[in-house]
Amino acid sequence: MKTGDKVVRQNKAHKHAMGSSANGVANKFLADLRGEWVAVGWAGNENSRINGKLLGFDLYSLLIESDHGPVLVFKGPGIAVKPL
């Protein structure tokens, strides 16, 4: 078994069961917001929020251009992204 075979198998199973690829909903949501102003923070904690323009994203992170310069936000449980 080659590296990554397990992930490929899991993604195919998810797509078959759910009708979309794993992370497909999140990727479409973020792709639609690319170049737009967003608020990124931890759900339920307004004090931890970063406002800025969504420049890009990948599987693990978001790149936000804030008033203080670029900010790299690592995705994880509890991270919330909403349009401004």
% of the chain surpassing 70 pLDDT: 87
Residue 7 lies in a domain: no
Residue 31 lies in a domain: yes
**Structure tokens, 10:** 């899991």
- Contact call for residues 64 and 53 (beta carbons, < 8 A): yes
Token look-up 């990727």 returns 27
| Alpha-carbon gap, residue 74 to 4, rounded angstroms | 22
More confident residue, 24 or 66: 66
pLDDT in tens, 48-61: 899 999 999 988 99
User: Is 55 part of a structural domain of the chain?
Assistant: yes
CATH number for the domain spanning 45: value is 2.30.30.100
Domain housing 67 = 25-83
pTM over 0.85: no
| DSSP structure class, residue 75 | -
pLDDT over 80 (residue 47): yes
Looking at residue 67, its pLDDT comes to 93
Q: Nearest-CA neighbor of 53 among 62, 64, 40, 43?
A: 64
